[in-house]
Amino acid sequence: MTTDEWPQSVAAARAQQIKWAGKLKLQSFPVSLLRATTRVVGVDVGVDSATQQLRAAAVLVDPINAELRDMAVATATAQFPYVPGYLSYREVPVILAALAKLAVTPDILFCDGQGIAHPRQFGIACHLGLLQNCPSIGIAKSLLFGTAKSPAAKFGAHSVIEVQGNAVGMALRSREQVKPIYLSPGHKINLLDALQWTLHFCRGFKLPEPTRLADQIASRRHKKWQTVD
DNA sequence: GCGACAG
DNA sequence: ATCTTGTCGC
């Protein structure tokens, strides 16, 4: 797979998605396996308002208290347009660059976007999980594919994201009084375990800490703490 | 054919 | 994704 060239068209990307979706392993990865040494990483991408360059942030969070432990940032010019259903072909390159700068390899990756709750069951979380060969979970703020009832108002309430009768993800009330988030497994994890891992990192905000912190850093509005350049 | 459409 | 401050409420 490392010898494949990066798709340069939506048609090529589509063919790769269909092919690679077949490589995904949705297996058990219970949150009970979490240790004080488990490397939990969150990634997200933002756009530099001035240069239009993509900026990816990879953050390492404490597995127990979910606090920020380390971070890495990378920037790059987008080489693929944003096309619904093909987001990973635009964001994955710069995310991989940020991950490469991080001192550790992730044991589990939280990504901003869909996992298998995708038209071809190959959202950005699947793409990253395969390339990093590690469990991954997709955390999206809106639904791209499938249907789901609105979950109950209470924290932790969830409803299945369904596609032709199959449960591919979950709409989760990660915070009361706020619109739900849509999570789905990417690779090497199943739906129920993905839900448990996500709940473990929801600490009072809509987004679970890994993606919330990555989002904050990738979007520069937190730059007052690193603008000592 | 007409909308919908992660970030 | 991004344009954007203060303000109301749990």
Q: Say what percent of chain A tops pLDDT 70.
A: 94
**The residue to which tokens 């589990």 are assigned:** A108
User: In this predicted structure, what is the pLDDT of residue A165?
Assistant: 94
Rounded, the Å distance between the CA of A186 and C1' of C8 is 38
User: In this predicted structure, what is the pLDDT of residue A225?
Assistant: 45
A190-196 long-range contacts (CB < 8 A, ≥24 apart) are: A190/A26, A190/A27, A190/A28, A190/A29, A191/A26, A191/A167, A193/A28, A193/A29, A193/A30, A193/A31, A194/A115, A194/A137, A194/A170, A195/A158, A195/A170, A196/A30, A196/A31
Please give residues of chain A from 145 to 204 whose alpha-adjacent beta carbon (CB) lies under 7 Å from any atom of strand C.
176-177
pLDDT band of A220, cuts 50, 70, 90: confident
* Residue A226 reports pLDDT greater than 60: no
Rounded, the Å distance between the CA of A139 and C1' of B6 is 9
Q: At what angle do helices A10-21 and A124-132 cross, to 10 degrees?
A: 60
Please give residues of chain A from 79 to 138 whose alpha-adjacent beta carbon (CB) lies under 7 Å from any atom of strand C.
112
What mean pLDDT value characterizes chain A?
Answer: 94
**Per-residue pLDDT tens for A29-40?**
999 999 999 999
Residue-range domains of chain A with CATH: 10-225 (3.30.2170.10)
pLDDT band of A228, cuts 50, 70, 90: very low
User: In this predicted structure, what is the pLDDT of residue A212?
Assistant: 97
Checking each nucleotide's C1' against the CA of A86, the nearest proves to be: B6
Among A146, A151, A140, smallest CA distance to A164 is for: A146
User: In this predicted structure, what is the pLDDT of residue A222?
Assistant: 59
SS3 A93: helix
User: If you average pLDDT over residues A40-67, what whole number do you get?
Assistant: 96
**Per-residue pLDDT tens for A116-136?**
999 999 999 999 999 999 999
On whether the CB atoms of residues A29 and A135 are closer than 8 A, the answer is yes
CA angle A18, A19, A24 (to 5 degrees): 90
Per the structure, the residue whose CA is closest to nucleotide C2 at C1' is: A49
* Strand B lies under 7 A from the Cβ of residue A118: yes
User: In this predicted structure, what is the pLDDT of residue A172?
Assistant: 97
Among A150, A90, A93, A84, smallest CA distance to A120 is for: A84
Q: A197: part of which helix (H) or strand (E)?
A: helix A191-200
